[in-house]
A and B are shown apart, each in its own frame.
Chain A
Amino acid sequence: MRRALHAEWTKLRTTPGTGLLLLTVVAATVGIGVLASAVTDCRAGGCTVDLAKVSLTGVQLGQAVVAVLAVQVIGAEYSTGMIHLSLTAVPRRLTVLAAKALVLTAVVTTAAAAGVAGSLLAADRLLPLAVTDAAVLRAAAGSVLYLVLVGLLALGVTTAVRNPGAAAGLVLGLLYLFPLIGLATTDPDFRRHLDQIGPMAAGLAVQATTGLDSVAVSPWRGLAVLGAWAAAALLAGGLLIRLRDA
């Protein structure tokens, strides 16, 4: 496993574009976060919105970049045929997948932490938000975990479908489909159900710091729903890569 990890780290490090994608994760997260914080006006009669959630809005764009990076981690190997070489070098296929998951987790955690910290620093200046509040810190840490789980979901899906284009479409579809159905529906109960099971809506519940008694799903439980999606995707990918001919 140590050798497989070393190999995957070398691969990721020497893939052109990895650094740029990680910087884009940070820039997208902070950029949209700053924008959202800047346009929120709390002077007249105080704020009714969840300020922590507002300051972390950028995560919703950052996740798309994380998904693209995660798809590339194994999708590029399938499109070039290099996966055969990887599996020839490390015939234990679950070890290859686990090593990829670990290096991906490491780099996404770093980029996500930078993006989330940047968003909170901006919010600290722009909004009347106590960023050291326990609930705000939970929303911040949860957002980092959210981005990591989106990455693992994308890795699992790509391993299962073996085609980077199809995988990117599937992952983004999975993330944005539930909110879109929610927009199209008028039934509040149905919409609440969608928010409880959709990977994006449920996962982002971890950013909620106000009105916690009326949310569709509680913060950590919501993140656990996304965790279940990611686990299911990795399980499917793991089973298929193990059982299928390469």
Chain B
Amino acid sequence: MNETSIVVSGLRKRFGPTLALDGMSFTVGPGQVTGFAGPNGAGKSTTMRIVLGLDAPDEGSALVGGRPYRSLPCPLRVVGSLLDAGALQPGRTARNHLLWLAHSQGLTAARVDQVLEQAGLTGVARRRAGGFSLGMRQRLGIAAAMLGDPPVLMLDEPFNGMDPEGIVWIRGFLRALAAEGRAVLLSTHLMSELQDTADHVVLVGRGRVLADRTMPELLARHGSLERAYLELTRDAVEFRAAGSPEASR
């Protein structure tokens, strides 16, 4: 498989009585933004955690650049990821947060300053990250993902908490990364953002892939990504309010 890609094949994962992943398989190719969407509980986060070696699958495998994540000597130079923007020590400054990460990959403070600049955080670099808004933490998380200048990026809900200017920035930023030939996996519930950003969409539900198509294909068939999502995930929604338009169908 391509060196700059994520290959997920036949993942199964059970948490107690819940089957979180039920044969999840897809590929994230280089040079494009791949959207990763599906209802809550569909297994998106679990899949990403398995790709990063945080959780072990019961069956199947996840490879990054042809190798299991845990075997990578400097993983952040291969995959940049943002799973939870709040996962930081609140008392540490933004710059020091990136500094320990840089040191863990044999990178220097000069690289830290570069990614701070890239994420628009230079002005607040020496402020405590605990005082950051969610949007600023997302920027810090994206800076952390970019530290190792990785060919593969995997971001979970990076638009959350972002102001409109930030959303526009991420959209352009991810498009530019894909144009440089990187593989970008973007998980989000915001279908309109995804429609404007992704070239390809992997729709998942109940732990498996429901649809794996290019954006033009989905738009041609369903009109909009939101309609495509609602129609394709209709039978895979775990949590739905009574009386919602989809519940009565």
B-binding segment of A12-20, A58-66, A162-170, A199-207: A12-20
A86→B75 CA distance, assembly (Å): 11
B-binding segment of A36-44, A48-56, A88-96, A139-147: A88-96
Is A76 an interface position by the 8 A CB rule? Answer: yes
Is B197 an interface position by the 8 A CB rule? Answer: no
- Knowing A4-B104, A11-B100, the reply to whether A85 touches B88 (Cβ < 8 A) is yes
Listed A/B pairs (16) with beta-carbon separation below 8 Å: A3-B104, A3-B106, A7-B103, A11-B92, A14-B93, A84-B54, A84-B84, A86-B104, A88-B52, A88-B53, A89-B101, A91-B70, A91-B75, A245-B56, A246-B49, A246-B55
What are the residues of chain B within 8 A of A16 when measuring CB–CB?
Answer: 91-92
Q: State whether B55 touches A82 (Cβ < 8 A).
A: no
A47→B84 CA distance, assembly (Å): 62
What are the residues of chain A within 8 A of B76 when measuring CB–CB?
Answer: 88-89
**Given contacts A84-B87, A245-B49, could you give 4 more A-B pairs where the C-beta distance is less than 8 Å?**
A6-B104, A80-B87, A84-B49, A88-B52
Q: State whether A85 touches B105 (Cβ < 8 A).
A: no
Q: State whether B99 touches A10 (Cβ < 8 A).
A: yes
Which positions in A face B, CB cutoff 8 Å? 3-4, 6-11, 14-17, 76-77, 80-82, 84-92, 245-246
What are the residues of chain B within 8 A of A88 when measuring CB–CB?
Answer: 52-54, 75-76, 81, 83
What are the residues of chain B within 8 A of A17 when measuring CB–CB?
Answer: 91
- Knowing A88-B52, A245-B54, the reply to whether A7 touches B101 (Cβ < 8 A) is yes
- Knowing A15-B92, A16-B92, A81-B87, the reply to whether A91 touches B53 (Cβ < 8 A) is yes
A82→B141 CA distance, assembly (Å): 12
Is B86 an interface position by the 8 A CB rule? Answer: yes
> What 8 A-B pairs come out closest when comparing CB atoms?
A7-B104, A81-B87, A14-B96, A16-B91, A10-B100, A246-B54, A6-B103, A89-B104
A4→B101 CA distance, assembly (Å): 9
B115 to chain A minimum Cβ distance, whole angstroms, is 14
A105→B168 CA distance, assembly (Å): 47
Query: Could you tell me how many residues of chain B have their Cβ less than 8 Å away from some Cβ of chain A?
Result: 32
Q: Please encode chain B, from 95 to 128, with 1 for each CB lying within 8 Å of some chain A CB and 0 for all others.
A: 0100111011110000000000000000000000
Out of B74, B89, B101, name the residue touching A15 (CB < 8 Å).
B89
A239 to chain B minimum Cβ distance, whole angstroms, is 15
Is B72 an interface position by the 8 A CB rule? Answer: yes
Residue of A whose beta carbon sits closest to that of B147 = A89
Which positions in B face A, CB cutoff 8 Å? 49, 52-56, 69-70, 72, 74-76, 81, 83-84, 86-93, 96, 99-101, 103-106, 144
Residue of B whose beta carbon sits closest to that of A76 = B89
Q: State whether A81 touches B84 (Cβ < 8 A).
A: yes
B109 to chain A minimum Cβ distance, whole angstroms, is 10
Q: State whether B103 touches A245 (Cβ < 8 A).
A: no
A13 to chain B minimum Cβ distance, whole angstroms, is 8
Q: State whether A10 touches B87 (Cβ < 8 A).
A: no
Out of A80, A87, A246, name the residue touching B90 (CB < 8 Å).
A80
A246→B88 CA distance, assembly (Å): 15
What are the residues of chain B within 8 A of A9 when measuring CB–CB?
Answer: 103
- Knowing A7-B104, A246-B55, the reply to whether A91 touches B92 (Cβ < 8 A) is no
Residue of B whose beta carbon sits closest to that of A85 = B87
Residue of A whose beta carbon sits closest to that of B148 = A89
A43 to chain B minimum Cβ distance, whole angstroms, is 50
A7→B92 CA distance, assembly (Å): 14
Out of B55, B88, B96, name the residue touching A10 (CB < 8 Å).
B96
Residue of A whose beta carbon sits closest to that of B109 = A10
A17→B130 CA distance, assembly (Å): 15
Q: State whether B87 touches A91 (Cβ < 8 A).
A: no
What are the residues of chain B within 8 A of A85 when measuring CB–CB?
Answer: 87-88, 101, 144
What are the residues of chain B within 8 A of A90 when measuring CB–CB?
Answer: 104
What are the residues of chain A within 8 A of B52 when measuring CB–CB?
Answer: 88, 91
What are the residues of chain B within 8 A of A4 when measuring CB–CB?
Answer: 104
